[in-house]
Structure 1
Amino acid sequence: MNKQHSPLLKKDATQSILASILSIIIGLVVGCIIILIVGLTSDNLTLSSALDGIRLIFGGLFSTGRDAAGNLTFGFNPTNIGNMLFRATPLIMTGLSVAVAFKTGLFNIGAPGQYLMGTMVTLMLALGIPSESVPAGLIWIIAFVGGCLAGAVWGAIPGLLKAFLNINEVLACIMTNWLAANLVTWMFDISNFKNVVENTKSGYIYKTSFNGVETPKMGLDHLFPNSQVNMGIIIAIVIAILMYIIMNKTTLGYQLKACGANRHAARYAGIQDKRNIVLSMAIAGALAAGGASLYYLSGNTEFFWSTYQSLPSTGFNGIPVALLAVNNPIAVIFTGCFMSMLDISGLQLTNLTAYNEYITDVIIATIVYLSAFSLVIKMLISGRRKRKGKHTVPVAAPDGGGNPPSTSEAEKGGEGA
């Protein structure tokens, strides 16, 4: 019996990809409309400046500045591309954090708190262990692993509350976020890691390069000169590939997804649902904290320690990264780079036009809202409509002579059965 393969557009994976692409396109169009409206209604802006803004939204990554005549120029810009990869590194990690939790039926909105805990432990280890007696490479590894473990512990707290007390993980994550913000602020406030060398930066923590600890460039500084890129992007990509293998090719990944689909059925099948819920949130926490470790171990970034009034946006930005990637760890690499590209475009808007980078925040917000409605977009793409009051009638088997049953026999269905 020949199997009929569904057309490409009817496949769920294809519809998910199309829904994400459509969300991105609509978000970009909304940003362009805002630029046009502002340009046409402002006394200080013209249609020409509005068109320049639109060109930078789509091609800001390849902007090379302005020529002598004041016109925008575009081409291969290794500095912008390198900075995009550097900014994408923590986004990929926090996107993986949210995606892995989603795969197991949990919503990890606690990535900002886990990111902060990873930041604190990473910086304290990287700056606290004297590089005169311990090799800088070993300190880097200790700081990275320590940061990931801190995030795992912090992520396991909502997991424990969910598994044993059935407390919603969203509520637990929100509480742990603000606990982390205050704890990190207090710990750095009483520490001696504040940057007292540069008087204007006393609210910042020293760069890890102050102790001789920084992520190796691995030749990327030659490919992308004058940028901040380093080996961190390679580590993030490798971790994304490993998470894909774990979630799709191993028994552990199957158990985690089974608990996410139905923890009670998983328990009936012999899977330890409570253990896997805690483990899922711990893995998510380690990934988010790993993003912070890779970002601050670069040696060229400073941490503003007075965080108790706000949470790092990188943790929240992991949510749209995961949603656009349809929770696929490999796709997270590309959506993380896309979100980072929007950041670079926003900086180009600020530097080369009268607009500011907050327009790209509107674009990202639009994409976030649309990606949250990805199921509705998929239904529109597939043309499905809910059928109310209609039920399919099972057709009876042919009679003994090989002839199909009469209409009345089929309508009777299982009468008398």
Structure 2
Amino acid sequence: MREKLSNLYAKDGTKAVLSSLISIVIGLVVGSIIILLVGMGNPSLGLSSAWDGIRLVFGGLFSTGRSAAGTLTFGFNPTNIGNMLFRATPLILTGLSVAVAFKTGLFNIGAPGQYLMSTAATLYVALTIPSESVPTVLIWILAFLSGMLAGALWGAIPGLVKAYLNINEVLACIMTNWIAANLVTWFFDGSALCNTAEFGKTGYVYKTSYNGVETFKMGLDKLFPGSQVNGGIVIAIVMAVLVYILMSKTTLGYELKACGANRHAARYAGIADRRNIVLSMAIAGSLAGAAAALYYLSGNTEFFWSTYQSLPATGFNGIPVALLAVNNPIAVIFTGCFMSILDISGLQLTNLTAYNEYITDVIIATIVYLSAFSLVIRMLLSGRKKHKAAAKTSSAAAETKPAPGRSDGADEKGGEEA
């Protein structure tokens, strides 16, 4: 049994999972310490309030409010779980977007811009095609594909300048992010998609449900009543599995990773490195586009376009999701859900205690920093294993070493020949 555990521990995948778990635990502990320090430093809060905050950080997903006596209550909360799955959908897809680029040696920091361009394309198609003459299912499919295509085209731009002009993709992505922000603001400012039906909503674009277009629920609304959940989470999981198959089981995936490992060696081996760089960024862009499309096609979310002189946080949040998952497409599903759980915990902190949700931002920031040092954590874990292996080897060598004054077989043979 010990040997099996040792072999399991020796695997790189096990070390990667352990390093991510260590990052998560340290992040949660840091958040708890901050809550405790704030509670102790503020007489109006006290230790009891700090204890409530710590419990919500770890179990906010299962919080059911406060009892008549004012104590926190916990249990199965279908609304929180459903909302967590809804919020996890775009995080999973933006995490996949960043992970695919990472696996091919590129850093897709352009997911926010790809997300924005997809938002504009998705909402335009979903709201302008008349649902009276075209089936809403067909409109939904066209809007979803349009969003993915817009994200892919916008993602291909940094890929092109990287492949043909050797311009760093990070710089190109930052530029395309801000170009996208201004283009989308200009587009909605001059369009007829702004909400004029409701007073004070002119800064918002209509929900897609105004045209009868929204993502099917697939029965999830009955499992999690009162939540925003829909079939988008199922689509995101399916896409994660497809990305895993693409990157791990196909020739194209091998070529993409080969270009990321060593572009010049890949070219020497006959792989079209320039094409694969552009294709990698296009795939990453399409996944970020899918994130925006599923979020706004839900039919219950509004796009507040006038704030987009800044960039959407969802695009950047894909980076910690991918880092925690060590760029594994299947693991991205779980890390996306974990980040969504922290969002729900932050809302519970705001609603049920005197603390605010920004504490969970500190937790996420800590986890991100530690995820960036995950290689160091893995080296420490590997070093511990190597130390044990060295001790075991030296012990075995000591047992087989001949006693002093006793010659081995070769010496005896040599003596006889002499």
Verify same fold: TM over 0.5: yes
Superposition pairs for residues 95-134 of structure 1, below 5 Å?
A: 95-134=95-134
Kindly state the Cα deviation for residue 380 of structure 1 after the two structures are TM-superposed: 1.4
C-alpha distance in 2, partners of 1:381/1:199? Answer: 59
Partner amino acid, structure 2, of 1:230: N
Q: 1:209/1:5 Cα in 2 relative to 1: closer, same or farther (>3 Å)?
A: closer
Deviation by residue 1:86-141 (Cα, 9 ceiling, x = unmatched): 00000000000000000000000000000001101000100011111111110000
Kindly state the Cα deviation for residue 6 of structure 1 after the two structures are TM-superposed: 6.7
Does 2:224 align with 1:221? no
Does 2:150 align with 1:150? yes
Kindly state the Cα deviation for residue 18 of structure 1 after the two structures are TM-superposed: 0.5
C-alpha distance in 2, partners of 1:180/1:64? Answer: 40
SS at match of 1:309: coil
Does 2:232 align with 1:232? yes
Superposition pairs for residues 112-191 of structure 1, below 5 Å?
A: 112-191=112-191
Partner amino acid, structure 2, of 1:270: G
Superposition pairs for residues 61-72 of structure 1, below 5 Å?
A: 61-72=61-72
Deviation by residue 1:277-321 (Cα, 9 ceiling, x = unmatched): 000000000000100000000000000102442100000000000
Kindly state the Cα deviation for residue 221 of structure 1 after the two structures are TM-superposed: 0.4
Does 2:379 align with 1:379? yes
C-alpha distance in 1, partners of 2:354/2:410? Answer: 78
Does 2:228 align with 1:211? no
Kindly state the Cα deviation for residue 8 of structure 1 after the two structures are TM-superposed: 2.2
SS at match of 1:334: helix
C-alpha distance in 2, partners of 1:57/1:277? Answer: 41
Does 2:52 align with 1:52? yes
Does 2:272 align with 1:272? yes
Does 2:77 align with 1:77? yes
1:200 maps to which residue? 200
Deviation by residue 1:325-348 (Cα, 9 ceiling, x = unmatched): 000000000000000000000000
Contact conserved, 1:182 with 1:307, CA < 8 A, in 2? no
C-alpha distance in 1, partners of 2:217/2:5? Answer: 48
Superposition pairs for residues 279-298 of structure 1, below 5 Å?
A: 279-298=279-298
The normalised TM-score by structure 1 is: 0.91
Kindly state the Cα deviation for residue 385 of structure 1 after the two structures are TM-superposed: 11
Partner amino acid, structure 2, of 1:95: G
C-alpha distance in 1, partners of 2:410/2:15? Answer: 41
C-alpha distance in 2, partners of 1:206/1:20? Answer: 40
CA RMSD in angstroms comes to: 1.8
Contact conserved, 1:181 with 1:307, CA < 8 A, in 2? no
Contact conserved, 1:84 with 1:337, CA < 8 A, in 2? yes
SS at match of 1:73: strand
1:259 maps to which residue? 259
Contact conserved, 2:207 with 2:300, CA < 8 A, in 1? yes
Kindly state the Cα deviation for residue 46 of structure 1 after the two structures are TM-superposed: 1.2
C-alpha distance in 2, partners of 1:337/1:403? Answer: 65
C-alpha distance in 2, partners of 1:218/1:403? Answer: 78
Kindly state the Cα deviation for residue 5 of structure 1 after the two structures are TM-superposed: 11
Partner amino acid, structure 2, of 1:361: D
Partner amino acid, structure 1, of 2:109: I
Kindly state the Cα deviation for residue 58 of structure 1 after the two structures are TM-superposed: 0.5
C-alpha distance in 1, partners of 2:283/2:234? Answer: 20
Contact conserved, 1:9 with 1:382, CA < 8 A, in 2? no
Contact conserved, 2:185 with 2:309, CA < 8 A, in 1? no
Partner amino acid, structure 2, of 1:377: I
Contact conserved, 1:119 with 1:296, CA < 8 A, in 2? yes
Q: 1:31/1:181 Cα in 2 relative to 1: closer, same or farther (>3 Å)?
A: same
Same amino acid, percent of matched pairs: 80
C-alpha distance in 1, partners of 2:229/2:189? Answer: 30
Kindly indicate which of the two structures has a greater share of residues assigned to helix: 2
123-132 or 4-13, which deviates more:
4-13
SS at match of 1:202: coil
C-alpha distance in 2, partners of 1:81/1:269? Answer: 49
1:343 maps to which residue? 343
Contact conserved, 2:88 with 2:337, CA < 8 A, in 1? yes
SS at match of 1:65: strand
C-alpha distance in 1, partners of 2:183/2:43? Answer: 47
Partner amino acid, structure 2, of 1:290: A
Contact conserved, 1:321 with 1:339, CA < 8 A, in 2? yes
Partner amino acid, structure 2, of 1:235: I
SS at match of 2:200: helix
Regions of 4+ moved over 3 Å = none
SS at match of 1:199: coil
Kindly state the Cα deviation for residue 403 of structure 1 after the two structures are TM-superposed: 7.5
In structure 2, runs of 5+ residues without a counterpart are 387-408, 412-418
Does 2:39 align with 1:42? no
